[in-house]
Structure formats: structure tokens, C-alpha cells
Amino acid sequence: MSRFGASTDPAPTRIEQLLGGGLMSKLERLDLVSRKVFSGKIHGERRSRRRGTSVDFADYRPYSPGDDLRFVDWNIYARLDALFLKLFLEEEDLSLGIAIDTSASMDWGNPNKLTYCRRLAMALGYIGLVNHNRVSLHGFDGGGVSSLRTLRGKRRTREMGSWLLGLEAGDGAAGSGFTEAMKTLALSRRGRGVLIVLSDFLEPSGVDEGLRFLGGRGDEVICLQVLAPEEVDPASNGLTGDLRLRDAEGHGDVEITVTPALLRAYRQRLDEHCATLRNDCVRRGMRHLAVHTSTDLESVLVESMRQGGLVR
Amino acid sequence: MMWLTPWTGFILAACTVPLLLLLYFLKLRRSTQVVSSTLLWLSSTEDLRANAPFQRLRRNVLLLLQLLALIMLVLAVMQPRIEGAGGRGGRTILLVDRSASMQARDVDGGTRLEAAVDAASAEIDRLHAGGLFGGDEEETMIIAFAETAEIVQPFTGSRQQLQDALAEIEPSHGRSRIEDALNLARVYSTNPNPDLVDRPIAEAASLVLFSDGRIQDLDGLVLRGESLVFQRVGTDRFDNVSVAHVAAERPYDRPAFVEVFAGLANWNTSEVTVDVQLSVDGIGRRVEEVELAAAVRDIASGRLEPGRRNLTFTPFQQDRDAVIEVAVLREDSLPEDDAAAMVVPPPRQLRVGLITPERRLVRRIMEGLSLQRLEVMTPEVYESRIDSAELGDLDVLIFDAVAPAAMPPVPSIFLGRTPPTDRLRAYGEAEGQVVLGGGGDHPVLRYVDVDPIYVDRARQVQGGGDSEVILEGSRGPLMLTFVHEGREHVFATFDPIADSNWPYQRGLGVFLFNAVEYLGHHGDSLTRSQLSPGAALVAHLPADATELTLTTPSGEEFDLSEQNPARVSWGPIELSGLHEIRYTRSGTGEQYSWYESVRLPQVESDAAAASEVVLGMQRIDSTDAGAVRYRPLWPWAIGMCLLILLIEWWIYNRKIGSW
């Protein structure tokens, strides 16, 4: 009989275990959806705030000396005898940040939440790389934030996978330090773009402060709340009897006797916790999606995230 | 289902179940589980914290199993039994009480003994039912008991033999004593039949007691592994008025008259008024109406103290021997104790010899008594006539400050001189004594005020084993009785005339009268204590008595002609009432009768059936007799307890992950 919440699957050691070939080909047809328009750094495939050189007409403006004569609309000059320049939309790249909670609470559950987040981050990052976005990866826990910055192009996939394979869960004594980590992350990010935060958001001191730091930077933040089946339905996954529950991050023990009343109370608290997180996200213009690690990754990406408008 | 020791189980449960729950509260063993976060659990438990202790106990399989095992253990201690048909292939001993209280008629259709026999008969039918459900090989023994126990039928598997033996149980008027019966049962349980070598030597038998529970010797008895079922016979709704005792005497001044005294006892808890009849030789002489107080239960001892009343009948003339009977004219549950009888001998005046050295006072006192003959002689004359037959006719001798050379052949009173007997050891003289104790208890000193007596000088003696000090002085015995060659004598260690102030008091004359009457009539019916059932009947008949026949109160006759008439014995006595020995004197050819009145033991008059018997610390509740066979269930309870413990152990190991 396995222990409650212990993973029965071994941790991935190869990149192929993070992202299989079949899923990879499906992901190549997807792209991240950004509700906001950001300025990019280099020419890319995403509409920018700037006027540029794409084929999409945007506006006219009067000619001023020095302008490129190739963009003068000569038909207008013939009719109005005035020089006007045609302006076109600019397409630039998108900055995609993926932040993974590596605190001890994430290294729990069957399937393991951290492993699931690595695979999810790998998939999202691959979508970003395929679509010529600048992809940055961040791992955070109470001990600080580690980052892999500015990957671009499909050929950086292996580098991204190696980094994710090397991502280890933090020490339980350090806690998650969510607020501090989000503050550090917000300050260290360059440019604005899409930031996806993968975490269980089970922070005793609350996550509102941390979200405030992220939201203040102007990024489009997507909170993916990753929960294990043992957290969603403990009784069905083997939690019975008189127990002393020990917090993986050292927040103290709780003695319980599993009863229907207690399970009902727990389920109510979990629903309240998710609802609060969702409200906080909405209030700050962020998007929220709860993901269960028992759900197939392809199903999450192709169905749940597409239905949620996160990818297309 | 019945429970043999329910209260023991309740006490055990009251002690252990709260203890077990307390231990769970204090030390609930919890396994530790690591979870991602206790954040949600902490807030969830806060809502339930108010009734947390009870939440701990809910759905706790181990605790439930342990409680179940404990309950099984408690049930086993309570010794449950269920009614079941047929035997178990074991041995059963039926103990049938046939004591006096079992003659009570508070059972429909007859006495308690008859009901007990019927119940035992049905039990035998059930044990030896035969057929498919008749049980395995069963052996049964029957023991009947009252004062003593007897084996009516040793172990046998024959139902017919058992039924025949049961029908032969006769009632007894003795007390109910079960110790002999239990000892017999044990002896036969441990050695049932030496021929059956394949049977265990010590196999506990099942005992079934058919009784009203009024057993006198339960204190100090314990069961030694036997299982006992008490089938009660009779009810506690009991109506009884008894004649507790009867006594008669002939007044001193009118020896042709008889004065009868009777003691009555009311065992009902309400007052009753009864008619009491005095009969002489079977003819009613007087009837008196008597009101009797209600019986009261003594809280300390639990015994029922009857309402008592003493009754004295007006003296009536009876110048020959007679059988006096006092009877309560009232129908009640126990007729056996409604009447008591005694035998009054014909009046007889005594012949007394006084050996005195010419002293007047004792002689004058003796001359004042109503005697048939007083023969006064000097010591010399006495010694010269010691072997004559005339001296042997005397009933009592008085040695007034003289001592004979040898012990006289008749009961004697010795005043101031030590008699020549090895029963007493004289070792000196003491002067100046007052009376310390004794007096009124003994018939010799009845109505004698001994306190004013002062003794100037007395012999110091030490009596043998059969002597009794009846007056104790400040420096040794002042008066004692002793037995020499079967005759009782009285010895005053001081000379009342010369060495004390007794002559100046009235008591000296009363003492001499008492002593002469006591020694002269010793052995008569009036002075004999009445026998009770269980004792042996002993009669001293004339040497020429022949054709001795004993008739019991039930009319049964026994031929005792083979016995020596000088000492005829028969026993043990089973029934109360008059026992008559008829005999013929070969010299004259006349027929005579000798009577002995046997009294019903008073304890048997308190005969309300008990609801339980207590053997040692074991309290055994009754089941009303009705041929019920009970099978013990405690082995099943113990088995269930062990099974539950096994399951509990398995679950525990599964929980802690040993397996």
C-alpha cells in the first residue's frame, strides 16, 4: 500500500519524457493568445504597438521631409495634390515568461505536481519557441528565483528541456515564499509580455500580495493552479482513520480523524480557496485556470486552455 | 436466556469500558501522513473542534473491535445460558432438597418436595430424551439431602432407573444442609466409575439444585469448578404460624398437676389471630385465642424475626404419664410445624438419704420437702450399709460435711468435703471468698440469690473435663457438678453451715430442693432436651424388655428387638413428632410404651422460597423449576472475543503497515 500523496511514477530524466513527439506535433499548430498588445524587440509574427512594415494597412499621415518615398500614396497626391504616407501595422515578437513553483508542497501528489508542471511548462514553452517568441523560464521557492532567460526559436527546445529536468523541489523548511518570489520576478523581468505562473497557490500567508506585484508590471498574467487528486478528493485517494497530517513545508501538524463531516468541511474550504484565487485574478485583470494533475496534458492544452482562450 | 452472575459483568463493564475509552482519549495512536499543505485541513478542523473527542471515536474500527471484544468478555463473565434440549454428553448431578421446609404446600397440587421431584423427573426426561436431538451419552446421578445427604441413584444412563430412584425420595423434617451433598457430588465427579478408564478422572459435573433455597449451611461453601443451576421450588408468598417450643412441668406443691408452656411464632409479615389447642393423649383440653405480632425482617442480618408469643396454660390434674400436644388450629403452608408434643412422666416422689454427723439444719430442711422417704444415717451406718440393696433404692444421697470412703452408687450432693473421685483434684484451701459469677443459669441454683453469700473457708479443687463450675468464688470454684461412672453429682467446696453465712439466707433451702430435684429426676422426659431430626434416638429401657417396636410419626414400624434394652438406639431421626417404642416386660408380660418427642427445627419454619443461593462469592439466581435445561454460552463468548481480537490484530498490522 503506497503512502498517501506519494508518487508512484519515477521523476523524468529525459527530455522526451517531458514532451513526447506526438504531442509536440500537435503543439506546433497552437499559439498563445494575448489579450494585450505588447511592443516587441525584434520583428516577429505578432502585431505590435508600433507601425511597421507588414502588409496590413493601418493609417495615413502627412508627409514630412525625410520620409521614405516608397510609402507615399501617389493616388491621393493625384487627387488632392498633397503628399500622404501610408502606415502599416508592425509585427514583432512576444515575451513569454513561465514561472514554476518549486516549493516542497509541489513535490507531492500522484501524479506529482512538480513533474506535471515541468511537462506543462515544457509544452507551453515549446509553443512559444515555435511561434518565435522570447521565452523565459523561472523557478521559485522560499530560497529565491532561478531563471533561464530569452530562448528564441525551436532549436532552443532541448536547452529548455534540460533546464526543466534540472529543476529541483525546494527544501521544505524554506517554504514557498510566494510573495517574495513574485516581487523578485516582477523586478527582474525585462519588457512586458505574457507571464504564466504554475503553482498550487497554497500559501498560508496568502497570494494576494504576490499577485499584486505581478499585476502592477503590466504583464498579462495567467495563473495555472495545479492540484493533485489527493488534494481534490482525499478520501477516495486513501485518506482514512486517525492521522497526524504533517505540512510538507513545515507549517505545523494537524491531528484529524477522517469523518464525512471533516471531508465535507475540507471540500468547502478548497472550493472557497479556489474561488478566492479566481476572484483575485479577475480583479487584477489576470486569468485563472485550475488544472488537476490527473488530467491528461494534451487534454489540458488542446481542450481546457483553448476553451479558456489561453491558446488558439 | 438467563445470566448466572449478571452483576459481576455489569461491574466489570462499568470499570473497563470507560477505562478503554479514556485510554483512547488520552493516547490515540495516529499515523503521520505528509500532505502538501495543512492550510485547508487546519481551517476545516476548526469548525469541528467543539465536538472533537467524539469525532475521534467515530468510525474508529480498532476501538469498535476492542469494545466488541470487551463486551464479549463481559458477557462471558455474566455466564449466560440458554434453554436447550438434550444433554451435552456430560454428567449431571441432581440435588434434591427434602428438608422440612420442602414440605410446605405453597405449590399447586402438593408439597414443594413433590414439585421438586416432578421438576427433576422432567429434567431426567429432557436429559435422556433419546432420538436425534436427545444429546450425546449422558449420565445422571441423584442426591437427596436434608440434615445429611444420601445418594439415591449413582451415575447411570438409564432413564427408568433414575425415575424409579426419584420416586423413592422420602420427606425429612430435618434442616437443609447441602455441604454433604456437594462433597458427595465432588467425590463421584472425580471418580465416577473406576471401570471406565477412558473417562477423565476429574471431569466437572453439572449440578442442578431443586430446592426452595432455604439452605442453612451456605456460608463457607464454594463451588470448585462445578456449574450449578438453581431451580427454585416454591414461592415467597408464604403463610406460616408455628409452635416454636413446648414445655411442661409438675408444680412442686401439686405433683399431680401439669403446667404447660408453649411458644408461638408468626412468620407472616402481618398480624394474625390463631386458636391454640392443648391436647392430652389426643383429647383436646383447652383452646385459647392468641394474637401474634407480625414478623420483622432484620436489616443487618437479613433474617426474618418472627412475631413471638409465650403462652401458659392453666395447670390441670394429670396424675399419670401423658402425651401433651399444643397445636395451632389454622391452615397454613407448613402444617408440620403447627403442633409440638412432649411426654410428661407420672409424678414421682424421691427417696433421699442424708449422711450427717448429727447436724440439724440440713436435716430440718430435708424434712420440710415433700419426699417419699428421708433416711438419715451417720457416716458409720452409711459405710456399713454401702453394699446393701436398700441403699440402692435411694434416689439421692446428701453428704453433710462428711466424705464417704468410696464414691456412692447413686447421684449425691457433697457439702464441704471433697468426694473420693479422680474427677476432681484438690490442692488446698482458700479463706474469705465472695461470689463472682454463676448462679441462675443452672437448674441447681435457680431462684437462689447467690450474691450475699460469703464463704469463710473452702476447698480449692480443679475439675476434670466433664465437670461444670456452677458457682465461681473469688479464689476458686464454690460449687460444681461432675460425672462419675455415668452419674452426675453436685459438690459444694465449702461447708454451708459452718463456713458461710448461707444458713442465714433463704437460698440454702432452695438450693437443696433444686439439687435433690435435679439429681433425682435427671433423665426424665421433663428434664430431657427435645431432639431434632438428624439426631439419634436413644432409650434406656428395663433390662427385661422384649419385643421392641419403634413407630415413627408417619406410622412406619421398625423392629428393634435385636438391640440391648439397656441402650436402644435408632437413627438418624427423619420426622418430627412422637416416636413410640413399645415393649413387653418378660417378667410381668405387660406391654409398655416409651415416647420421644422430636421437634421440627425452628429455622425451617422460615420457609419463604429464596430467589438465589450464594455459595462463597458466587451468587446464583434461581430459575423457577420447570424442567429447563440450560446450556452455558460463555465459551462462545470467549471464542468470539478471541476471534475479534484476531481481526483487530490483523487490521492493526494493516494500518501500521507491518503486513
For residue A199, name the pLDDT band (cuts at 50, 70, 90).
very high
Residue-range definition of the domain harbouring residue B643: 1-28+49-84+630-659
Verify whether the Cβ–Cβ distance B40 to A269 is below 8 Å.
yes
Interface test with A, best of B24, B36, B54 (most A CBs within 10 A): B36
Maximum mean pLDDT: which of B68-77, B295-304, B648-657: B68-77
Smallest CA-to-CA distance from A110 within A248, A1, A236, A230 is with A230
Q: A227: nearest CA in chain B?
A: B36
Nearest to A256 among B39, B41, B657 (CB): B41
Residues of B in Cβ contact (< 8 Å) with A101: none
Q: Is B491 in the same domain as B447? A: yes
Question: A20 and A159, same structural domain?
Answer: yes
Residue B132: what pLDDT?
A: 40
Closest CA–CA distance from residue A258 to any residue of chain B (Å): 8
3-class secondary structure per residue, B533-545:
CCCCEEECCCCCE
Asked if residues B267 and B308 have their Cβ atoms less than 8 Å apart, the reply is no
**Rounded CA separation B614/B222 (Å):** 9
**Does the distance separating the beta carbons of A249 and B42 come in below 8 Å?**
no
C-alpha span between B635 and B228 (Å, rounded):
16
Record: contact B35-A228, CB cut-off 8 A = no
Say which residue, B216 or A73, is predicted with more confidence.
Answer: A73
The percentage of residues in chain B with a pLDDT greater than 70, rounded to a whole number, is 87
Residue A73 lies in a domain: yes
User: Hey, are the CB atoms on B35 and A108 less than 8 Å from each other?
Assistant: yes
Give the least confident one: B196-200, B426-430, B578-582, B589-593. B196-200
First-to-last alpha carbon distance for chain B, in angstroms, is 41
Mark yes or no for CB contact B55/A257 under 8 Å: yes
What CATH number is given to the structural domain containing B361? 3.40.50.880
Hey, of A105, A176, A251, A256, which one would you mutate to test binding to chain B, going by the most B CBs within 10 A of its CB?
A256
Which pLDDT score is estimated for B627? 44
A167 and A86 both lie in a single domain: no
Cβ contacts (< 8 Å) between B45 and chain A: which residues? Answer: 254-256, 262, 265
Measure the CA–CA gap between B108 and B130, rounded to whole angstroms.
Answer: 30
Selected residue of A101, A269, A272 to mutate for chain B interface (largest B Cβ count, 10 A): A269
Asked whether the beta carbons of residue A246 and residue B48 sit closer than 8 angstroms, the reply is no
In this complex, the residue of A245, A262, A268 whose CB is nearest that of residue B35 is A245
Which of A1, A5, A266 is the closest to B34 by Cβ?
A5
Of B347, B370, B403, the last residue of a domain is B347
Q: Which pLDDT score is estimated for A48?
A: 56
Contact A169/B at CB under 8 A: no
B36 and A241 within 8 Å at the Cβ level: the answer is: no
Residues of chain B with Cβ-Cβ distance to A257 below 8 Å are: 55-56, 58-60
pLDDT confidence bin for B398, thresholds 50/70/90: very high
A88 and A165: one domain? no
Using CB atoms, which residue from A254, A255, A259 is nearest to B58?
Answer: A259
Contact flag A262-B48 (C-beta cutoff 8 Å): yes
CA distance B119 to B106: 15
Residue A242's pLDDT band (cuts 50, 70, 90): confident
Residue A80, domain extent: 44-92
Q: Residue B27 — very low, low, confident or very high, per pLDDT cuts 50/70/90?
A: low
Tell me chain B's radius of gyration from C-alpha atoms.
Answer: 36
In a domain, A3, yes or no: no
Picking from A4, A105, A242, the nearest residue to B37 by CB comes out as: A105
Residue B188 has pLDDT above 80, yes or no: no
Report A:112-131 residues touching B (Cβ under 8 A).
Answer: 113
Indicate the SS3 state at residue A229: helix
Residue B402 makes CB contacts below 8 A (sequence gap 6+) with: B355, B356, B357, B379, B417
Asked if residue A247 has pLDDT above 60, the reply is yes
Tell me, yes or no, whether B36 lies in a domain. Answer: no
Same-domain status, A48 and A194: no
Contact at CB, B36 and A113, closer than 8 angstroms? yes
Backbone angles phi and psi of A163, in degrees to 5: -65, -40
Domain annotation covers residue A9: no
pLDDT value of residue B197: 52
For the beta sheet containing A144-151, the strands, ordered from the edge strand earlier in sequence to the opposite edge, are A144-151, A134-141, A95-101, A193-199, A220-227, A287-292
Burial letters for B207-242: b for 16+ Cβ neighbours within 10 Å, e otherwise? Answer: bbbbbbbbbbebeebebeebbbbbbbbbbeebbbbb
pLDDT > 50? residue A183: yes
Name every chain A residue with its beta carbon within 8 A of the beta carbon of B34: 3, 5, 108, 245-248
Mean pLDDT computed over A194-199: 90
B35/A259 CB distance under 8 A: no
What is the tally of structural domains in chain B? 5
Least confident stretch, B324-333, B353-362, B535-544: B535-544
Interfacial residues of B (vs A; Cβ cutoff 8 Å): 28-45, 47-48, 55-56, 58-60, 654-655, 657
Smallest Cβ–Cβ distance between B37 and the set A241, A244, A249 belongs to: A249
Q: Does the structure show a pLDDT above 90 at B493? A: yes
* Per-residue pLDDT band at B624 (split at 50, 70, 90): low
Residue at grid coordinates 505578432: A46
**Contact predicate B550/B558, CB 8 Å:** yes
What pLDDT sits at residue A99?
92
Same domain, B624 and B634: no
Q: Is the pLDDT of residue B484 over 60?
A: yes
- Is B416 part of a structural domain of the chain? yes
Are B45 and A248 a contacting pair at CB < 8 A? no
| pLDDT value of position B555 | 87
Q: A261, B48: Cβ pair inside 8 Å?
A: yes
Q: Specify the length of chain A in residues.
A: 312
pLDDT, position B603 = 77
Residues B396 and B476 in one domain: yes
Same domain (yes/no): A211, A266: yes
Residue A50's pLDDT band (boundaries 50, 70, 90)?
Answer: low
Asked whether residue B526 is assigned to any structural domain, the reply reads no
Looking at the partner chain, which of A200, A259, A266 has a beta carbon nearest the beta carbon of B36?
A: A200
Residue B28 scores a pLDDT above 90: no
Task: Indicate whether B289 and B404 sit together in one domain.
Answer: no
Q: Coil, strand, or helix at residue B51?
A: helix
Question: Given B318, B347, B376, which residue is the final one in a domain?
Answer: B347
CA distance A164 to chain B (A): 21
Q: What pLDDT is attached to residue B133?
A: 40
User: Is residue A84 domain-shared with residue A97, that is, in the same domain?
Assistant: no
- Set of chain B residues whose Cβ sits within 8 Å of the Cβ of A105: 36-37
Q: What percent of chain A stands above pLDDT 90?
A: 18
The verdict on residue A237 lying in a domain is yes
B40 and A202 in contact by Cβ < 8 A?
Answer: yes
Asked which of B197-206, B225-234, B460-469, B609-618 is least confident by mean pLDDT, the reply is B197-206
Query: Which CATH number goes with the domain that contains A245?
Result: 3.40.50.410
Domain stops at, among B487, B520, B553: B520
Quote the pTM value.
Answer: 0.46
Mean pLDDT value across chain B: 82
The closest alpha carbon to A7, from A109, A120, A113, A118, belongs to A109
* Res. A234: pLDDT tops 70: yes
A-chain residue closest to B25, CA distance: A242
Specify the range with the lowest mean pLDDT, choosing from B33-42, B200-209, B216-225, B472-481.
Answer: B200-209
Does the beta carbon of A269 lie under 8 angstroms from any beta carbon of chain B? yes
Q: Are residues A74 and A104 in the same domain?
A: no
pLDDT interval class at A31 (50, 70, 90): confident
Q: Are residues B121 and B229 in the same domain?
A: yes
Q: Tell whether B624 and B614 lie within a shared domain.
A: yes
Shortest distance, CA B37 to any CA of chain A (angstroms) = 5
Q: Which residue of B has its CA nearest to A255?
A: B30
Instruction: Please tell me the distance from the alpha carbon of residue B549 to that of residue B559, in angstroms, as a whole number.
Output: 5
Instruction: Say if A58 falls within a structural domain.
Output: yes
**Would A4 be classed as within a structural domain?**
no
pLDDT at B499: 93
Residue A298's CB: how many other CB atoms inside 10 A?
14
Give me the number of domains chain A comprises: 2
* Set of chain A residues whose Cβ sits within 8 Å of the Cβ of B44: 262, 265-266, 268-269
**What is the number of CB-based contacts under 8 A between chain A and chain B?**
116
Residue A42 has pLDDT above 60, yes or no: no
Q: Are residues A67 and A138 in the same domain?
A: no
User: Phi, psi (5° rounding) for residue A262?
Assistant: -65, -40
Q: Which tens digit of pLDDT belongs to each residue from A121-157?
A: 999 999 888 888 888 999 988 778 888 888 888 888 8
Shared domain check, A20 and A107: yes
Q: Which H helix or E strand runs over A163? A: helix A157-165
For the segment B253-282, the average pLDDT, to the nearest whole number, is 87
User: Is residue B37 a part of any domain in this protein?
Assistant: no
CA dist., res. B468 & res. B331, Å (int)? 45
How far, in Å, CA of A168 to CA of A115, rounded? 10
Verify that A184 and A87 share a domain, yes or no. Answer: no
Test the A interface: residue of B24, B31, B33, B659 with most A CBs within 10 Å = B33
Dmax (CA) for chain B in angstroms is: 130
Query: Has residue B77 got a pLDDT over 80?
Result: yes
Do the beta carbons of residue B230 and residue B214 sit within 8 Å? no
DSSP A98-133: EEEE-SGGGS-TTTTHHHHHHHHHHHHHHHHHHTT-
Residue A251 and residue B59: Cβ atoms within 8 Å? no
Verify that B216 and B230 share a domain, yes or no: yes
Residue B190 confidence (pLDDT): 67
What's the confidence (pLDDT) of residue B464?
82
Q: Is the pLDDT of residue B354 over 80?
A: yes
Across the interface, of B45, B60, B655, the residue whose CB is closest to A254 is B45
**Which positions in chain B touch A199 (Cβ < 8 Å)?**
none
DSSP at B446:
T
The helix (H) or strand (E) run that includes residue B9 is: helix B6-26
State the cell numbers at B546.
Answer: 422384649
Question: Does residue A56 share a domain with residue A25?
Answer: no
Task: Tell me the range of A243-257, A269-283, B304-318, B574-588 where mean pLDDT is highest.
Answer: A269-283
What pLDDT is stored for residue A90 in this prediction?
59
Determine the pLDDT at residue A93: 65
CA distance B268 to B296: 9
Closest Cα in chain A to B651: A241
Partner-chain residue, chosen from A108, A241, A266, that has the shortest CB–CB distance to B36: A108
Q: Which residue of B has its CA nearest to A204?
A: B39
pLDDT tens digits, residue range A212-233? 888 877 788 899 999 999 999 9
- Cβ neighbours around B73 below 10 Å, total: 22
* pLDDT at site B403: 92
From residue A282, how far is each of A106, A182, A286, B646 by CA, in Å? 24, 18, 5, 58
Verify that B94 and B60 share a domain, yes or no: no
- Residue window 215-254, chain A: list those with CB within 8 Å of chain B: 228, 230-231, 239, 241-249, 251-254
Same domain membership, residue B431 and residue B382 = yes
CATH (domain of B215)? 3.40.50.410
| Interatomic CA distance for residues B300 and B317, integer angstroms | 46
8 Å CB contact of B38 and A246: yes
Asked if residue B636 and residue B553 are part of one domain, the reply reads no
Say whether both B275 and B253 belong to one domain: yes
Any domain includes A312? no
The answer on B365 and B504 residing in a single domain is: yes
Position A267 scores a pLDDT of: 92
